[in-house]
Structure 1
Amino acid sequence: MTPPFIRSLARDRFLHLLLLIGVILTFLVPFAPARWPAAIDWHTIITLSGLMLLTKGVEQSGYFDVLGRKMARRFVTERQLAIFMVLAAALLSTFLTNDVALFIIVPLTLTLKKWCAIPVNRLIIFEALAVNAGSLLTPIGNPQNILLWGRSGLSFPAFTLQMLPLALAMMATLLVLCWCCFPAKKLQFQSSDATPSWRPKLVWCCLAFYLVFLAALEMKLELWGLVCVAVGFLLLERRVVYSVDWTLLLVFMAMFIDVHLLTQLPALQHSLHGVGQLSDGSLWLTAIGLSQVISNVPSTILLLNYVPPSVLLAWAVNVGGFGLLPGSLANLIALRMANDRRIWWRFHLYSLPMLLWAALTGYGLLHLLGHL
């Protein structure tokens, strides 16, 4: 019998695409595989590993079933439930970062379909858009904001204030879309009145592991924190470790290496040298366009070498999180957790119009507020 990890590798078309892109790029840039491990953001990989273990632990405990049942019975219509989940995703992302918010919201959303008939894929797509919109508000909402905040010298309130108009515009847009895309039909319950069983001991252990992991992250000892969490689950409930989608980590590693190879392309390096002389409109489009190809965090790192951490740059790289799948790593996390191939192309039916609207609205607001 084929191990689950091998079956997952064989089915992962996105990983296959990333590997193919990497092979092609190795013929276009100097071949230096010794540098590839340094191109991987190991802090992100380790953090994702810990979060996946903790989320899977809560899922295996059955607590998401209990919470999902309570939520399904609290809301009357599909629209009410969708708006609540979108707002919760956006709010969590402002202080817990967009990735962490998804590790909480998406598993909960997946359990909701056990208790009521809802369009789960559509809701997860909106949650992915919501964490991109919500996380742009604060300096700690996403990695690119952390970078920009550190370079800008602004206080926490000052940075938040400069991002507020764009965040309000994007959230207002999402709520209008929610109102239009989720009908006000009454929720139909699909299960009996029996209360789902869950394991309180595993939930409390997950909470304890989370506190240990959080403390390790704060002390820059993330690897030891991951080891503690992994050993804890191996002793308590080893099925958690085996159930995690570990191929997601390979996808992220491949993305980091591909981005590293892309930045070595002579044509890209030559064009970036002229970024500092671009007009405001050209810089706006360049930052958004670059984010679509190599994701908004690497785009921010690259562009900060040539331009100051202005409001325009901060808004542009956050707008770049919408649109194509690579625009934000949060998009990839949300769609992978959905575990449905159909969601990959459906995501772009909403995200691409959102990108166009965000680009036009954001640039208009910048002009109106005098930041251009």
Structure 2
Amino acid sequence: MIKNFVRNQVVLSIAVFLALITSFISSPKIEYIDFKVLILLFNLMLVVAALNSLKALEKGAVILLKKCKTYKMVSIMLVGMTFIAAMFITNDVALITFVPFAIIVGKKGNIKIMKIVILQTVAANLGSAFTPMGNPQNLFIYSYYNMGAIEFLKTTLPIIILGIIFLGILIGIMKNEKIDFKVEDVKLEKVYKLLITILLFLIIILSVFNIVNYKFAFILTVIAICVIDRKLLFKVDYSLLITFIGFFIFIGNISQMNAIKVFMGNILNGGQKTYIWSIILSQVISNVPATMLVSGFSEYGKELLLAVNVGGMGTIIASLASVISYKIYTKEYESEGNKYLKIFTVYNLLGLIIFIPIISLLIK
């Protein structure tokens, strides 16, 4: 039973294992857990579940399918939407929104959607690199190093340009199969509930940008969902939230170890070193914790910014946003988890091999 659990919940198992092991060395503290991130994820998963139950995503999928006649066109639309959306609503939100949408498209069109979901994940991580609000590590670096907006965008623009080329090539080599099918139109029912859900979604997005207090958004979300359909509370992927908690405790524990502090100070005394080591750390502890860890020992903000965004590719935990799409996909296609990880790793390692040397040329 334990073996089956580990096989089906690989990332969760790793997170819990790392948290437990490091807790024997350093005492865990409640403040290590970023409850704001957990609450925002909870809110977003709930509202997307509501949109799904009200057939809003299904309606959108039908509209998209009617305009797309080939597999490549479907890929371009889904990956492109995720890439652009991630710049403004964060990579996490983009994946929580568009991966379920892609799965619905796949089911409606009777097409294999795995590679598209993986490319959506790559697109979300690369697209979110462009703006300060694109992902948590960008916001942190933007504030911590007091970067100007133009300086920030000029630094990340090469990642975006290279990302568009990279994704374009990966989509371009796909088989351009024609999609020949008919779909029945979806009628939206309970329109008033849909309007409430859309309004709720906008409030949650505002809470992501700190325009609306996230605690207020949380209370409002729970109340609204109970009005719409309280059963949706059971559709939240709580294992994903536990995965995040595990990683928060792990990074909090290791950041208190003196040996780690001394080691980090010795290896981060240059721009290129900060760049390379930040990418390596991202592969092991994910790019958000790596950002917070490295920032305390390095004055090279631009190099760190480039590194943790490039470093979002690679392993499944390099960007915790990647865990989101993996969890959403394997929840629908439980038997394809191992295959997903293999293809995901191939695409992301290819991305690292291409991006690392090219982006390093920007570092003096």
Same fold (TM over 0.5): yes
- CA shift, 1:111, in A, is 0.5
- CA shift, 1:216, in A, is 5.0
Aligned partners of 2:133 and 2:139 also within 8 Å: yes
Aligned partners of 1:18 and 1:251 also within 8 Å: yes
What are the residue-to-residue correspondences of 1:1-372 with 2, within 5 Å? Answer: 11-27=8-24, 29-30=25-26, 32-33=27-28, 35=29, 37-180=30-173, 182-189=174-181, 193-199=183-189, 200-216=191-207, 218=210, 221-278=213-270, 280-339=271-330, 340=333, 341-342=337-338, 343-364=340-361, 366=362, 371-372=363-364
Aligned partners of 1:64 and 1:108 also within 8 Å: yes
Task: Give the letter aligned to residue 303 of structure 1.
Answer: V
Of residues 80-89 and 149-158 in structure 1, the stretch that sits farther from structure 2 once superposed is 149-158
Aligned partners of 2:89 and 2:205 also within 8 Å: no
CA distance in 2, matches of 1:216, 1:136: 20
Aligned partners of 2:15 and 2:244 also within 8 Å: no
Of residues 40-49 and 337-346 in structure 1, the stretch that sits farther from structure 2 once superposed is 337-346
Unaligned runs of 5+ in 2: none
Task: Give the letter aligned to residue 90 of structure 1.
Answer: F
Of residues 147-156 and 116-125 in structure 1, the stretch that sits farther from structure 2 once superposed is 147-156
CA distance in 1, matches of 2:106, 2:207: 35
- After superposition, the C-alpha distances for 1:293-341 in whole angstroms (9 at most, x for unaligned) are 1111111111111212432221111111000111111111111111232
Give the superposed CA RMSD: 2.1
Aligned partners of 2:86 and 2:127 also within 8 Å: yes
CA distance in 2, matches of 1:214, 1:90: 17
Aligned partners of 1:275 and 1:307 also within 8 Å: no
CA distance in 1, matches of 2:206, 2:116: 32
The secondary structure found in structure 2 opposite 1:325 is coil
Aligned partners of 1:15 and 1:250 also within 8 Å: yes
Of residues 194-203 and 242-251 in structure 1, the stretch that sits farther from structure 2 once superposed is 194-203
Aligned partners of 2:78 and 2:98 also within 8 Å: yes
Figure out how many residues of one structure are paired with residues of the other and give that number.
Answer: 353
Q: 1:215 to 1:132 in 2, by over 3 A?
A: closer
Of residues 139-148 and 219-228 in structure 1, the stretch that sits farther from structure 2 once superposed is 219-228
Q: 1:13 to 1:169 in 2, by over 3 A?
A: closer
CA distance in 1, matches of 2:144, 2:256: 24
Aligned partners of 2:108 and 2:183 also within 8 Å: no
CA distance in 2, matches of 1:212, 1:282: 41
Aligned partners of 1:148 and 1:309 also within 8 Å: no
Task: Give the letter aligned to residue 203 of structure 1.
Answer: L
Aligned partners of 1:9 and 1:247 also within 8 Å: no
Q: 1:307 to 1:10 in 2, by over 3 A?
A: closer
Identity of aligned residues (%): 24
Unaligned runs of 5+ in 1: 1-6
